[in-house]
Amino acid sequence: MTTPLALTLGEPAGIGPDIAIAAWLKRRELDLPPFYLLGDRDFMAARAQALGHDIALADATPATAISIFTDALPVVSTGHAVTAQARRPDASSAPAAIASIRQAVADVESGHAGAVVTNPIAKSVLYRAGFQHPGHTEFLAELAAKDGKVPLPVMMLWSPELAVVPVTIHVSLRDAIDQLNGPLITATARIVVNDMKARFGIQRPRLAIAGLNPHAGEDGSMGDEELAFIQHAVTVLQNEGIDARGPLPADTMFHPAARATYDCAICMYHDQALIPIKTIAFDEGVNVTLGLPFIRTSPDHGTAFDIAGTGKANPSSLIAALKLAARMADAAT
């Protein structure tokens, strides 16, 4: 890579700092792409010491990060001092987390970083500080807005064994059913196809479209959403030359033989997508935001306050997120 990856701090009282340190310690063993952390070097030094790691940390800029990365963890300052301790968010948590995200996006948009990799945030902490977005995905879409136009962000959960996309995301199941419609399904699928071509190197992505109801509605006897609009959405996609099939019964979509027949499963709601991938690849799953003008990946887990600062946090998902971000950046060049 000619530019490093921008890694956000995430919630400083959570495991984000822990797994950033753990990933950097495995940089040679796993041949990790160079990255820098956007945060507070003094805070990171204190966390490393608490974890029992005597590591080198260096003040950096995106331009110097690659040369520093081999010998020290590059830390690019956001100008926000962090006073939160492991498992104890405080008033410094939200400003530091938000500033880190904003600066990472700015670095990628200016060409100083190849992709944004985000550590987990604590939504409840951000909400108490006045954060107005349901989560990372929606905030990133706002940051990517141009001329008042906010892109449709699409959340993909990716692993080598399975890639899934929920059409509706962080809403109740009742609201998800109300929000579902044909145009939303087709818009989501088109973004998936475009990004899988441009950033995953898959020239003709194969999509499996799940039904909403048990047995994909059983010809309307268990719900009519499949007949009302899901089947039509699949037909629209097929007429556009997209390799899509469905609606398929969700309970038979995720066994090994079924997974071999598609590149991405388009699911109707959050848990329909996330339960199978977290069952199959809990430690290696990566959250990828599609539909943005920049690449963003993230570990597929939360802040894990209960183990922050204990040394028990598993960096595998962050490592997978860093590797996938580098792969996508290389494919896009």
- Binding positions are 136-137, 170, 215, 270, 278, 287, 296
Which has the closest alpha carbon to 316: 300, 295, 333? 300
Q: Using CA atoms, how far apart are residues 146 and 163, in angstroms rounded to an integer?
A: 29
Question: What one-character DSSP code corresponds to residue 151?
Answer: P
Residue 325 contacts residue 5 (beta carbons within 8 Å)? yes
According to DSSP, the residues that pair with 5 across neighbouring strands are 35
Q: Using CA atoms, how far apart are residues 91 and 82, in angstroms rounded to an integer?
A: 9
User: Residue 146: helix, strand or coil by DSSP?
Assistant: strand
- Which residues contribute to the annotated binding site for a divalent metal cation? 170, 215, 270
Pure H helices in the chain: 16-25, 41-50, 65-69, 93-109, 123-128, 136-143, 173-179, 182-200, 225, 231-239, 256-259, 270-280, 316-332
- 16-25 and 316-332 are packed helices; what angle lies between their axes, rounded to 10 degrees? 70
Which has the closest alpha carbon to 165: 272, 244, 253? 272
For CA atoms 298, 300, 302, 304, the dihedral sign is negative
- Taking the CB of residue 255, how many other CB atoms lie within 10 A of it? 10
- Which residues contribute to the annotated binding site for substrate? 136-137, 278, 287, 296
Pairing of strands 154-158, 163-166: antiparallel
Q: Using CA atoms, how far apart are residues 65 and 52, in angstroms rounded to an integer?
A: 24
